[in-house]
Homo-oligomer: A and B are copies of this chain.
Amino acid sequence: MSQLSPQDLLTQLKWRYATKQFDTSKSIPDETWSALATSLILTPSSFGLQPWHFIVVKNQEIREELLPHSWGQKQVTDCSHFVVLAAKTSMSEVAIDSFLKRTIKVRGGEIDQLNPYRDMMLGFIGQMDESKQLQWAKLQTYIALGQLMTSAAVLGIDACPMEGINPTEYDRILELPEKGLTTSVACALGYRSAEDKYATAPKVRFEMSESLTLL
């Protein structure tokens, strides 16, 4: 049985918190990291188009360079694995065709059979200007952020999502624009420090009745 019980899921989701202080002496083991990397890859996206790229920064020099552009949040340098989730800045016909080619490689068949699907995707993408395409791609990266954080939680790995970063500086340091990418959001992963007092602070959420309506 590879599933979690509802109670165990809740235990893990309540255990997680936005880790402020990581234990710098601990590193995520290979097998666990491999599952987290795969959780990013397996993230569902609109039409399956995966308009993203994930940069995992282990190199300490690059992290030091990113730190001043991260509101000084030490998680960038102190965590085990620092992930930058980048979005494709625009969706071209080429991107759609490389996805369709991949589909045929994985599922077999002839690429022409996918023409109706191709037309639908081109129609969807074509109705958006570049700025809308980027917004759409960023939304997809946030699904990946959610999948990554929930996956980490159920594996007992700590995480801190980070929106407070300077995308322009991140883009420059990680050389993203030349790859048609831009920084969307980041996530530090690793193990909480025993000194992080936020670990035991009660979680602040609105009452369920304020955030959820049953019709």
Q: Which residues of A contact B (CB under 8 A)?
A: 2-14, 16, 18, 31-32, 34-35, 37-44, 46, 48, 50, 52-59, 62, 99, 102-103, 106-107, 135, 138-140, 142-151, 154-156, 161, 163, 174, 185, 201-206, 208, 211-215
A213: contacting residue among B54, B139, B185, CB under 8 A: B54
Complex contacts, A206 vs chain B, CB 8 Å: 41, 50, 99, 102
The 10 closest A-B pairs by CB, nearest first: A146-B146, A6-B35, A142-B142, A2-B8, A150-B150, A2-B11, A143-B146, A3-B156, A146-B147, A54-B212
**How far is A62 from B214 in the complex, measured between Cα atoms in Å?**
12
Q: How many copies does the complex hold?
A: 2
**How far is A174 from B215 in the complex, measured between Cα atoms in Å?**
9
**How far is A205 from B54 in the complex, measured between Cα atoms in Å?**
14
CB distance B12 to A35 under 8 Å? no
A48: contacting residue among B16, B50, B142, B204, CB under 8 A: B204
- Give the residue name and chain of the B residue nearest to A45 (CB): B161
CB distance B56 to A31 under 8 Å? no
CB distance A154 to B202 under 8 Å? no
**How far is A7 from B2 in the complex, measured between Cα atoms in Å?**
8
**How far is A150 from B135 in the complex, measured between Cα atoms in Å?**
23
**How far is A58 from B185 in the complex, measured between Cα atoms in Å?**
34
**How far is A185 from B136 in the complex, measured between Cα atoms in Å?**
12
